[in-house]
Chain A
Amino acid sequence: MNREPRRQRTYFILLLVTAFALLTIDYHSNGTNSPLHPLEKLVAGVTGPGEKAVNSLVKPITDQVHFGKQPSQVAELQKELDAAKALAETSQNDHRQVEQFDKLLGWPPYYVMKMKPARVVGTGDTLSNDGSVTIDMGTRDGVHINMTVVTGLGLIGNVIRVQATTSTVQLLTDPTIYVTVKNGRTNVGGFVSGRTDGNLDLTQISQTSDIRAKDQLVTLGSEDNQPYVPNVPVGEVIKVDNTPGAATHTAIVRPYASFNALDIVAVIFAPATPFPHVFISPITPPPTTAPPSPTVTPARTSGSVSPSALVSGTSATTTTASRATQTSAPTTTHPATTTSAPQTSAVPTTTHATTKPTTTKPPTTKPPTTKPTTKPPTSGPPTSTSAPHTTPTP
């Protein structure tokens, strides 16, 4: 009778020591090269789909029940959600359609930047909140590590782990990740990292250039577009910390994306080729006008969708009316949200949602945000390329 509790205490201490050993092992070997990685994959392979299932079960209920949130906030979030859903629908369409267009028109690869929508199915709980979320897309959907993840409003993070049907996204607000950014006004680079209050810290090395409140930041882009594609809206400077004599300029940035109710996000499937940083610069050589013209005939012979559907859905209504109207919207949305200058970041989502059914010409949705230098390049080239094709379309 006396030996049993003692043996149990030994087991307890053994377990504690094991836990501590695991802690130190994983603490030193960071992430994927940890010896526990296979076990982690196993657990993630079970819990990921489980989270997906539970989320889809409770989502209809929790959409209705909100404790402790102001009604206005709920409405606001709902609006964001609707906009994001609209974006998600269109971008999913876009992914397939643009792929076809890309082949047909022989566009430069950097235009293939596209999104695949995903849902956030798991977040951190009270005890383990690591500034990361689970999304319902994995290797089966083509997701791999270091892909950029955005919402309709801007950058939220990048994929750090993938399983078969789910993956983990490290959020921008995590203090351990640094994102290189570019000031939209001065074009000066810097980096942001998360703060505990949900905002970001901006550090700008350059002494010659200042930071002002309301400066808008976009991603500078990473090598091979991993983990960050360039020109994704990140946030807006809300408070500048100008310490005299400091080696760096620092400021506090409010991210465009809202992190407290993430639902629909989009993973950017970017090509490995470098993105030209022309989108944001004033001089934009239109390289896209030349290549498409020789491929006009192949585009038409394929018959299914004419390139004119890209821009003006109305002109292509003869052949594929329904698809044309669908495709015209995505092409306007996806370059805008992913590559546009920060000015458009907050506005476009709502405009996309509203303009989507009408399918007006893409440039008309842009001008409200008055920055003539940056906006046209994003949507301009497709317009100019496909404009010639509209006439020969049967």
Chain B
Amino acid sequence: MSWKVALLAALSMFTALLLQRSALPLLGLPGAAPIPMVVLLAAFALVRGPFAGCLIGFFSGLAADLAPPTTHGAGREALLYCLIGYLCGKAAGEVDRTTLAPLAVVAVASAFAVVGNAALNVIFGVVHPSLSSLAHTVPAVVLYDVLLAPFIVPAVAVLVRRLDPEPRR
């Protein structure tokens, strides 16, 4: 992963984090707000593979853990995003290069993010999310993220390939 790609990842993930914290909740979307960080992470992992995925995931997750107004301890989202980044990168090697494959990856990643976060909450958190709230959140998040994906995934792919055309394998 070249420093250019790393910088692009850092900047875009940071922007996504800010949007998640201070813009998207204001829209009052039914169900839940989308998670652009997951879409971006999946997009980077799909282009650059599991290693870049888990690296970007870990550090952006750590930032999400520490950024205000979160008060839970560090590590929870770092763990979650690290896993998602790695698995999405793995999936990139498995799935065929079709139009729908990235959408499916984003959908699964979003669902995994919400469910995995709920699981981590049960283990480490104080507020235990109810299953009924998950039933509302998961479809909403998957829907919104899949709607975002056609804009984000190709853009990331194009930008990354332009910045660093030769991926070091």
Residues of A within 8 A of B (CB): 1, 4, 8-9, 11-12, 15-16, 18-27, 30-31, 34, 36, 39-40, 43-44, 47-48, 50-55, 57-59, 62, 65-69, 121-128, 130-134, 160-161, 163, 166-170, 174-176, 196, 261
Contact B126 A175 (CB under 8 A): yes
Cα separation A134 to B82 with both chains bound (whole Å): 26
Cα separation A121 to B25 with both chains bound (whole Å): 11
Cα separation A362 to B44 with both chains bound (whole Å): 61
Contact B21 A125 (CB under 8 A): yes
* Chain A residue, CB-CB nearest to B141: A126
Minimum C-beta distance from A166 to chain B (A): 6
* Chain A residue, CB-CB nearest to B54: A12
Contact A68 B30 (CB under 8 A): yes
- Given known pairs A16-B79, A55-B22, A166-B68, the reply for A126 and B114 (CB within 8 Å) is yes
Contact A47 B17 (CB under 8 A): yes
Contact B113 A19 (CB under 8 A): no
Q: Of A65, A168, A196, which is within 8 A of B69 by CB?
A: A168
Interface residues in B39-79 (C-beta closer than 8 Å to A): 50-51, 54-55, 58, 61-79
- Given known pairs A125-B21, A125-B35, the reply for A19 and B61 (CB within 8 Å) is yes
* Chain B residue, CB-CB nearest to A161: B68
Interface residues in B76-96 (C-beta closer than 8 Å to A): 76-80, 82-83, 86
Q: Of B58, B66, B77, which is within 8 A of A40 by CB?
A: B66
Pairs A–B under 8 Å by Cβ, sample size 12: A25-B73, A43-B63, A44-B66, A47-B18, A48-B68, A55-B22, A58-B22, A122-B68, A125-B33, A128-B117, A131-B71, A132-B70
* B157 close to A (CB within 8 Å): no
Contact B114 A127 (CB under 8 A): yes
Residues of B within 8 A of A (CB): 14, 17-30, 32-35, 50-51, 54-55, 58, 61-80, 82-83, 86, 113-114, 117, 120, 124, 126-127, 130, 133, 137, 141, 169
Q: Of B23, B27, B117, which is within 8 A of A66 by CB?
A: B27
- Given known pairs A67-B28, A127-B114, the reply for A40 and B23 (CB within 8 Å) is no
Minimum C-beta distance from B144 to chain A (A): 9
Q: Of A34, A66, A123, A131, which is within 8 A of B22 by CB?
A: A123
Cα separation A133 to B58 with both chains bound (whole Å): 24
Contact B74 A127 (CB under 8 A): no
A-B contact count (CB 8 A): 198
Contact B69 A132 (CB under 8 A): yes
Contact A44 B68 (CB under 8 A): yes
Contact B54 A44 (CB under 8 A): no
Q: Which 4 A/B pairs are nearest by Cβ-Cβ distance? A: A26-B73, A22-B75, A23-B75, A68-B30
Q: Which B residues are CB-close (under 8 A) to A20?
A: 75, 79
B21, B30, B141, most chain A CB atoms within 10 A = B21
- Given known pairs A125-B35, A196-B130, the reply for A54 and B79 (CB within 8 Å) is no
Cα separation A19 to B58 with both chains bound (whole Å): 8
Q: Which A residues are CB-close (under 8 A) to B127?
A: 130-131, 174-176, 196
Q: Which B residues are CB-close (under 8 A) to A8?
A: 50-51
- Given known pairs A51-B18, A175-B126, the reply for A27 and B54 (CB within 8 Å) is no
Cα separation A47 to B66 with both chains bound (whole Å): 9
* Chain B residue, CB-CB nearest to A7: B51
Contact A122 B73 (CB under 8 A): no
Q: Which A residues are CB-close (under 8 A) to B33?
A: 125-126
Cα separation A25 to B79 with both chains bound (whole Å): 14
Cα separation A31 to B68 with both chains bound (whole Å): 13
Q: Of A12, A16, A44, A54, which is within 8 A of B51 by CB?
A: A12
Contact B21 A123 (CB under 8 A): yes
Cα separation A36 to B33 with both chains bound (whole Å): 28
Q: Which A residues are CB-close (under 8 A) to B73?
A: 22-23, 25-27, 30, 34, 36
14 additional A-B residue pairs with CB within 8 Å, beyond A123-B22, A127-B113: A11-B51, A15-B54, A15-B55, A19-B62, A26-B72, A65-B27, A124-B25, A126-B35, A126-B141, A127-B64, A127-B117, A134-B21, A161-B68, A163-B68
* Chain A residue, CB-CB nearest to B145: A126
Contact B71 A12 (CB under 8 A): no
- Given known pairs A12-B54, A19-B79, A59-B26, the reply for A43 and B72 (CB within 8 Å) is no
Cα separation A54 to B68 with both chains bound (whole Å): 14
Q: Which A residues are CB-close (under 8 A) to B72?
A: 26, 128, 130
A40, A47, A133, A161, most chain B CB atoms within 10 A = A47
Minimum C-beta distance from B165 to chain A (A): 19
Minimum C-beta distance from B19 to chain A (A): 7
* Chain B residue, CB-CB nearest to A20: B79
Cα separation A122 to B68 with both chains bound (whole Å): 7
